[in-house]
């Protein structure tokens, strides 16, 4: 993130307009949050950036011990980003990508672009607004900067899905296991068939004795 | 009842206090009277035998089985062994019938996020797969209602037969309804034979071997949560879930009522119900109402919660809430 940009950001955040500005900054960062370079994420592809044998439990945020969080699922061949980006010069000008990652549709509010979330310093990491680098497996910290209410509910097990045991080991999903970070709104899905109305139920089709 | 019935028929001559045929005329011809007695005795015996060995091929143990609450541990063990054998033969796989009791200090509660449900009916079919409902005639324990956003929660403007290409549809919201596991269940009160009751962990269950199929409970339930096996349930062997519970998802016979049990076979082992685990939007929440750290308690303390048909004083443990 260039300095001028960062300064602009923090000015907005701490402007004398007080709470109103913080709210608007929230909206702006909401926009900033999970856009980025490559890495289309798919829940169905549990390929992990972690080495094999790694226990997923370590992803659990503090206060959520005993809860397993799976690693983010990347499309095969995309991670680590540094495999391609290590030797490439970094262009920090916000722009539309033309050569690579064109399949990514960025619909995460206006004015956002890749390096608002993806780090230019370490291509295999994300960064928070204060510049802290974080792993992809901790991306809820990034999303939670704007969507704090969702992060709070997610930690309590109310936002998102919990599976496992209601009185024991639980499993959470990361934000990106359900939401495409580049276009986070849920897409409509096909419903399962409607129930058969009682008038159409044929008793004779039941199992014979 | 059945035992009394049988013993009387087994020794008809011993019933000396009752005049035969209801006649006040003193017995004049002993031979005639005896033959009539014999005739009635044989007929009733034959009818009884036909009943026992008859159409449903009801085992005599099953016919004589007592109410669930009168069963000793040994009785239950034998019944379960019999059922396991019966189901394993019928479905061609090893079927387990559990009888896990309620955990102490647990009262199950359920939360459903109306602001997130998209009406995809994944829960309906996960429930059917988990709980061995009849596929044909179709029985589903969860009914997803589509309602108008303009009208709010209004049953007069709801349908469960919506079938668009994609959900959610513009201007609509979705409200799945299933057993609300009432604290004050009208269905339990009306049962004339005490075949249904509330367990200590708050789950209302049915003993399918005791249910007489009168369907009073279905008339009493304001949520349409009880379903009747009008026909012989058809459950393909490959789709049969062999992990069952006596009071839950074991295969049902024809002519009994069934209902959601919060997946008793799962939740009594600590697992989440099937509908909770399948929901793609995470709208379904489940936990112990007595545990202050459970998700359901968090919801009740932090979210806008309402219960359905509150005015009926059924006091459900099924809470709708708005997560957003």
- Interface membership of A206 toward B (CB under 8 Å): yes
User: What pLDDT, on a 0 to 100 scale, did the predictor assign at position B53?
Assistant: 52
Please state, in angstroms and rounded to a whole number, the distance separating the CA atoms of residues B56 and A113.
69
Least confident of A25-29, B90-94, B171-175: A25-29
- pLDDT surpassing 60 at residue B13: no
Mean pLDDT, residues B89-106 taken together: 96
State how far residue B288 is from chain A, nearest Cα, in angstroms. 8
State how far residue B34 is from chain A, nearest Cα, in angstroms. 40
Least confident of A145-159, B7-21, B96-110: B7-21
Least confident of A92-96, B92-96, B175-179, B299-303: A92-96
Contacts with B101 (C-beta within 8 Å, 6 or more apart), sequence order: B268
Mean pLDDT, residues B115-138 taken together: 95
Contacts with B141 (C-beta within 8 Å, 6 or more apart), sequence order: B127, B128, B131, B133, B178, B179, B225, B227, B258, B259, B260
- pLDDT surpassing 60 at residue A206: no
Please state, in angstroms and rounded to a whole number, the distance separating the CA atoms of residues B192 and B172.
41
Output B133 or B1, whichever has higher pLDDT. Answer: B133
Query: Which residues face B287 on adjacent strands?
Result: B109
Percent of chain B clearing pLDDT 90 (strictly above): 78
> Phi and psi dihedrals of A46, rounded to 5?
-80, 35
Gyration radius of chain B's alpha carbons: 24
- pLDDT surpassing 80 at residue A67: no
Chain A positions in Cβ-Cβ contact with residue B288 (cut-off 8 Å): 166-167
**Which B residues in the span 1-40 are in contact with A, Cβ-Cβ below 8 Å?**
none
Chain B positions in Cβ-Cβ contact with residue A202 (cut-off 8 Å): 136-137
Mean pLDDT, residues B261-270 taken together: 96
User: What pLDDT, on a 0 to 100 scale, did the predictor assign at position A66?
Assistant: 54
> Phi and psi dihedrals of A116, rounded to 5?
-70, -25
User: What pLDDT, on a 0 to 100 scale, did the predictor assign at position B201?
Assistant: 96
State how far residue B164 is from chain A, nearest Cα, in angstroms. 8
Of B233, B293, B313, B223, the C-alpha closest to B259 is B223
Interstrand relation of A170-171 and A67-68 (parallel, antiparallel or unpaired): parallel
- Interface membership of B272 toward A (CB under 8 Å): yes
Residue-averaged pLDDT of chain B: 88
- pLDDT surpassing 60 at residue A27: no
User: What pLDDT, on a 0 to 100 scale, did the predictor assign at position A71?
Assistant: 75
Least confident of A94-98, B74-78, B100-104: A94-98
Percent of chain B clearing pLDDT 70 (strictly above): 84
User: What pLDDT, on a 0 to 100 scale, did the predictor assign at position A85?
Assistant: 86
The pair of structure tokens assigned to B144 is: 């997803």
B164/A195 Cβ within 8 A: no
User: What pLDDT, on a 0 to 100 scale, did the predictor assign at position B313?
Assistant: 96
The pair of structure tokens assigned to B308 is: 């359905």
Mean pLDDT, residues A64-84 taken together: 74
Mean pLDDT, residues A65-85 taken together: 75
Please state, in angstroms and rounded to a whole number, the distance separating the CA atoms of residues B129 and A197.
20
Confidence of residue B150 (pLDDT cuts 50, 70, 90): very high
pLDDT digits (tens, 9 = 90+) for B21-40: 444 444 455 666 667 777 77
Of B304, B292, B243, the C-alpha closest to B107 is B292
Output A166 or A208, whichever has higher pLDDT. Answer: A166
ipTM above 0.85, yes or no: no
In order of A197, A206, B108, the CA distances from B233 in angstroms are: 17, 6, 29
Question: Alpha helix (H) ranges present in chain A?
Answer: 3-13, 19-32, 82-85, 139-143, 148-156, 175-178
- pLDDT surpassing 80 at residue B75: yes
Of A166, A167, A141, the C-alpha closest to A154 is A141
pLDDT digits (tens, 9 = 90+) for A31-57: 333 333 333 333 333 333 333 333 344
Mean pLDDT, residues B178-191 taken together: 97
Output A161 or A41, whichever has higher pLDDT. Answer: A161
User: What pLDDT, on a 0 to 100 scale, did the predictor assign at position A196?
Assistant: 93
Confidence of residue A112 (pLDDT cuts 50, 70, 90): confident
The pair of structure tokens assigned to B93 is: 């796989």
Confidence of residue A59 (pLDDT cuts 50, 70, 90): low
- Interface membership of B323 toward A (CB under 8 Å): yes
- pLDDT surpassing 90 at residue B17: no
A165/B120 Cβ within 8 A: no
In order of B146, B168, B302, B321, the CA distances from B159 in angstroms are: 5, 14, 30, 20
Contacts with B296 (C-beta within 8 Å, 6 or more apart), sequence order: B109, B110, B111, B285, B286, B287, B288, B289, B319
> Between helices B2-10 and B30-53, what is the axis angle to 10°?
140
Q: Which residue of A has its CA nearest to B113?
A: A158
Q: Are A72 and A78 in contact (CB under 8 A)?
A: no
Q: CA angle A170-A176-A179, nearest 5°? A: 110
User: What pLDDT, on a 0 to 100 scale, did the predictor assign at position B49?
Assistant: 57
Q: How many CB atoms lie within 10 A of CB A208?
A: 7
Chain B positions in Cβ-Cβ contact with residue A186 (cut-off 8 Å): 118, 281
Please state, in angstroms and rounded to a whole number, the distance separating the CA atoms of residues B133 and A95.
56
The pair of structure tokens assigned to A163 is: 């599976």
Whole-model pTM above 0.80?
A: no
Please state, in angstroms and rounded to a whole number, the distance separating the CA atoms of residues B64 and B123.
38
Nearest to A162 among B122, B232, B295 (CB): B295
Percent of chain A clearing pLDDT 70 (strictly above): 64
Confidence of residue A60 (pLDDT cuts 50, 70, 90): low
Of B177, B113, B174, B97, the C-alpha closest to B142 is B177
Of B138, B65, B87, B66, the C-alpha closest to B251 is B87
Mean pLDDT, residues B179-208 taken together: 97
Percent of chain A clearing pLDDT 90 (strictly above): 27
User: What pLDDT, on a 0 to 100 scale, did the predictor assign at position A168?
Assistant: 86
Question: Alpha helix (H) ranges present in B132-267?
Answer: 186-190, 216-220, 264-267
Q: Are A157 and A63 in contact (CB under 8 A)?
A: no
Mean pLDDT, residues B98-118 taken together: 96
């Amino acid at each position: 993130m260039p300095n001028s940009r960062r300064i602009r950001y923090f000015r907005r955040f701490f402007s004398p307009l007080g709470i109103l500005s913080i709210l608007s900054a929230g909206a702006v960062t909401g926009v900033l949050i999970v856009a980025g370079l490559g890495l289309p994420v798919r829940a169905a592809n549990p390929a992990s950036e972690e080495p094999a044998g790694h226990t997923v439990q370590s992803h659990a945020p503090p206060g959520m011990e005993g809860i397993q969080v799976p690693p983010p699922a990347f499309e095969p061949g995309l991670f680590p980003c540094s495999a391609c980006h290590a030797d490439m010069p970094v262009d920090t000008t916000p722009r539309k990508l033309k050569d690579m990652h064109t399949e990514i549709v960025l619909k995460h509010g206006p004015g956002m672009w890749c390096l608002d979330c993806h780090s230019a310093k370490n291509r295999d990491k994300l960064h928070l607004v204060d510049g802290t680098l974080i792993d992809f497996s901790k991306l809820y910290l990034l999303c939670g900067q704007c969507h704090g209410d969702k992060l709070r509910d997610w930690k309590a097990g109310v936002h998102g899905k919990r599976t496992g045991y209601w009185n024991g080991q639980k499993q959470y999903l990361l934000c990106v296991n359900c939401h495409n970070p580049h276009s986070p709104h849920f897409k409509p899905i096909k419903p399962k068939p409607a129930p058969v109305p009682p008038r159409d139920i044929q008793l004779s089709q039941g199992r014979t004795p | 009842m059945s035992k009394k019935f049988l013993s009387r028929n087994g020794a008809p001559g011993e019933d000396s206090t009752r005049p035969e045929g209801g006649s006040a005329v003193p017995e004049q011809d002993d031979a005639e009277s005896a033959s009539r007695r014999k005739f009635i005795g044989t007929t009733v015996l034959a009818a009884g035998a036909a009943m026992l060995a008859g159409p449903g091929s009801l085992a005599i143990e099953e016919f004589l089985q007592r109410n669930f609450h009168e069963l000793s541990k040994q009785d239950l063990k034998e019944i379960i062994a019999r059922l396991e054998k019966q189901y394993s033969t019928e479905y061609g796989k090893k079927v387990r019938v559990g009888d896990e009791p309620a955990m102490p200090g647990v009262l199950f509660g359920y939360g459903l996020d109306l602001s997130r449900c998209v009406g995809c009916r994944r829960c309906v079919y996960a429930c059917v797969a988990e709980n061995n409902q009849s596929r044909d005639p179709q029985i589903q324990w969860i009914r997803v209602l589509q309602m108008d956003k303009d009208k709010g929660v209004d049953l007069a403007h709801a349908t469960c037969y919506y079938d668009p290409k994609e959900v959610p549809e513009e201007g609509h919201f979705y409200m799945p309804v299933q057993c609300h596991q009432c604290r004050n269940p009208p269905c339990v009160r009306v049962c004339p034979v005490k075949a249904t009751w509330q367990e200590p962990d708050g789950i209302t269950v049915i003993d399918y071997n005791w249910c007489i199929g009168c369907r009073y409970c279905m008339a009493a339930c304001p949520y349409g949560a009880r379903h009747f096996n009008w026909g012989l349930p058809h459950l393909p062997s490959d789709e049969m879930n062999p992990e069952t519970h006596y009071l839950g998802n074991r295969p049902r016979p024809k002519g009994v009522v069934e209902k959601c049990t919060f997946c008793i076979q799962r939740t009594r082992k600590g697992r989440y119900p099937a509908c909770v685990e399948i929901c793609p939007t995470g709208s379904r929440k489940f936990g112990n109402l007595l545990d202050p750290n459970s998700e359901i308690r968090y919801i009740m303390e932090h979210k806008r919660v309402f219960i359905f048909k509150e005015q009926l004083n059924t006091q459900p443990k099924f809470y709708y809430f708005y997560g957003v």
